[in-house]
Chains A and B, each alone.
Chain A
Amino acid sequence: MTHGTGNLSGADFPRAALPLLADDRLRRNLRHATGTIRAKRAAVVGEVDDWEELREAGRAIKAHTMRHLPELLERFEEAAAAAGATVHWARDATEACAIIGDLIAATGESEVVKVKSMATQEIGLNEALEARGITAVETDLAELIVQLAGDTPSHILVPAIHKNRGEIRDLFRAAMPGAQDVSDEPADLAAAARRHLREKFLSAKVAVSGANFAVAETGTLVVVESEGNGRMCLTLPETLISLVGVEKIVPSFADLEVFLRLLPRSSTGERMNPYTSMWTGVADGPSAVHIVLLDNGRSAVLADEVGRQALHCIRCSACLNVCPVYERTGGHAYGSVYPGPIGAILSPQLTGVAANRSLPFASTLCGACYEVCPVKIDIPRVLVHLRQEAPKSPVERAAMRAMSWVMRDPRRYARALRAAALPLRRRRTLRRAPWPLSAWTAARDLPLPAAKSFRERWKEGV
């Protein structure tokens, strides 16, 4: 099994979350933004009578697609090539960056415009291009904010969700030429971005995009967006390079119905997003069209019977917006470009659990993510599955072995319970336990055993 590389892991989740939890402004920003989007989503989902059937259709189409992924990819390649696209394959992040870098270098250009793409964030494309002297200009508003701030994305849909309008105004005034007088009104900030990028759109020769869907039957790529920056990048340049994860395939054009109804309502809480572009090979737009199909650990995810449903994800971010853990820590704590509940199951599977052992535990298993997932990914189930796979520390292993020894014998167990209940105390929880249990109590209170065990009270006739 070959795992993925790139921007998929960071520091241990609890350690990374600690300073973020102390950041009041961050928590206010997150609470406000996720609260807004939860209400909008609920309203437009409530409008759809057959929402549950639609979710089931989404799940079933994706499960069928994954089962037949190799054949569907071959069909996609054939159809796209017949329509004039050049299809490339990349085993991992390094190979994908090299292919895209070479394609750009061959055009002689040193600047490219980019449509927001999680896959390019995953492989660290911008940094790889920079090392070759190529500047990648992010054109999605939130990606632009993150890029201007020298920051990293913290949300799948809105990478700058951790910043409020005042922070964005200050950033634009400092870092965007001609925006010294911009106000903190979102409309004013959007207008500043329009002026800033206009010239780049009209003169760019090369664009890089991802894709939301790739239709096997026809070789068609689909990009779903709001601002029109996607349309600009997909229409005006001479060369278009699209990086597409192998799991983005849908079998037929008619299948798009299900996903075009599920995605906008789950994602931005709209009946339909402002713009969706579909193109098949070379058509009305760039004359050189390249498609890079990316594995980077997806084949390893596919091999896991329970975990492979993570590949069904359509990157709507509804699970982030309802997650009590995400709402408190924000996306940076996850250390991967895929944060939140979906990130907690996708990132460790892409990299292998050993390289991302804390993420399956970055959840309370409350199940809200499963409820809202438009393709019914059972995230709690996969989290529990991955927790079992995560390598345990020697201390934890020893503690579990000792516990198992105590619990195997009823008399031993009764004695242990009495011993635990012995000391007199007023508190019901312990804030800091002695080593080695201190590792457990660093972020939690330890409930103390009751003065009398249930077994004792049962004998006394509760």
Chain B
Amino acid sequence: MSAREEILARLRGALDGAAEAPAPPRPVVDARAQGDPELMAGRLRDYKAVVHRAGPGELAAVLGGVLAGVGVLAVPPDLPEAWLSAHSGRVLRDPDVAALDTVDAVLTGAAVAVAETGTIVLDAGPAQGRRALTLVPDRHVCVLFTRQIAPGVAQALARLRPTAPLTWISGPSATSDIELSRVEGVHGPRRLDVVIAEY
């Protein structure tokens, strides 16, 4: 008997005569429900992300300010040109991992966010690029549109395609491994800037 057959047979045997355990009722989730940008901003700050706000038509100017001093910036291949119109530094589109290790920051968009927890989710969709892009650089600047903010985890999950490569980000990289106290900055980006933009 193969290991697969044997394990499945063991599990079936273990459940012989077991009482039915019904699945709990699944609550109805409104995927279009909007999260509160103020709550999102507060929760991001709680976890040491730097939050910037951009009103309608202000995104490029705000990004120009946030990215001031960034010498080399990595961006995904499809980042809208307009976002960079006020930025004068060098821009690398979709660089390889070795080059990513030398850039000053990466600029991307996001797919969805969770206001309750201050979480941004990337799904490799528009303006987000490959996973490595937002992982290797030491600073991640992320543009989040208010319409992308979901109130809770359930609504965010309902908006996502499960089989996309998903990365959920809540603040900069951190650890609680020394005396269970949280400190920011280990292997992922040590700085996270989030620009919450109205559309």
A254 within 8 Å of B by Cβ?
A: yes
Residue of A nearest to B12 (CB): A70
Cβ contact within 8 Å between B43 and A142: no
B77 to chain A, nearest CB (A): 13
Cβ contact within 8 Å between A253 and B8: no
Set of chain B residues within 8 Å of A448, measured between Cβ atoms = none
Picked from A34, A36, A61, A219, the residue with its CB within 8 Å of the CB of B181 is A36
Taken residue by residue from 110 to 149, chain B's Cβ proximity to chain A (1 for < 8 Å, 0 otherwise) reads as 0000101111000010000011100110000000000000
B137 to chain A, nearest CB (A): 11
A226 to B170, CA, bound (A): 9
Set of chain B residues within 8 Å of A145, measured between Cβ atoms = 177
Could you pull out 27 A-B pairs where Cβ atoms are within 8 angstroms? A32-B179, A33-B180, A36-B179, A60-B21, A60-B22, A67-B19, A91-B6, A91-B7, A158-B176, A186-B183, A187-B184, A187-B185, A202-B101, A227-B174, A228-B135, A235-B132, A271-B117, A272-B170, A274-B172, A275-B188, A278-B167, A280-B163, A283-B165, A295-B10, A299-B7, A299-B13, A300-B10
Set of chain B residues within 8 Å of A293, measured between Cβ atoms = 7
B106 to chain A, nearest CB (A): 13
Set of chain B residues within 8 Å of A287, measured between Cβ atoms = none
B82 within 8 Å of A by Cβ?
A: no
Residue of A nearest to B158 (CB): A254
Residue of B nearest to A92 (CB): B3
- Which of the candidate stretches A256-264, A332-340, A379-387, A406-414 sits at the interface with the other chain? A256-264
A366 within 8 Å of B by Cβ?
A: no
Cβ contact within 8 Å between A60 and B168: no
A279 within 8 Å of B by Cβ?
A: yes
A37 to B179, CA, bound (A): 9
Cβ contact within 8 Å between B177 and A275: no
Residue of B nearest to A69 (CB): B11
Picked from B23, B180, B181, the residue with its CB within 8 Å of the CB of A64 is B23
- Known contacts A89-B4, A220-B162, A268-B176; is A191 also within 8 Å of B185 by CB? yes
Taken residue by residue from 152 to 167, chain A's Cβ proximity to chain B (1 for < 8 Å, 0 otherwise) reads as 0000011011001100
| Total A-B contacts with CB atoms under 8 angstroms apart | 239
Set of chain A residues within 8 Å of B46, measured between Cβ atoms = 271
**Interface size class for chain B?**
35 or more
- B residues contacting A by CB (< 8 A) are 2-4, 6-8, 10-15, 18-24, 26, 29, 43, 46-47, 97-98, 101, 114, 116-119, 124, 130-132, 135-136, 152-154, 157-158, 162-189
A70 to B165, CA, bound (A): 27
Cβ contact within 8 Å between B24 and A64: yes
Within 8 A of B (CB), among A268-290: 268, 270-281, 283-285
Within 8 A of B (CB), among A67-114: 67, 69-70, 73-74, 83, 88-91, 95
- Known contacts A89-B4, A236-B132, A299-B10; is A142 also within 8 Å of B177 by CB? yes
B121 to chain A, nearest CB (A): 9
B128 to chain A, nearest CB (A): 10
A36 to B179, CA, bound (A): 8
Cβ contact within 8 Å between A284 and B97: no
A446 within 8 Å of B by Cβ?
A: no
Taken residue by residue from 227 to 264, chain A's Cβ proximity to chain B (1 for < 8 Å, 0 otherwise) reads as 11101100110000000001000010110110011000
Picked from B13, B29, B132, the residue with its CB within 8 Å of the CB of A254 is B29
Set of chain B residues within 8 Å of A326, measured between Cβ atoms = none
Cβ contact within 8 Å between B175 and A227: yes
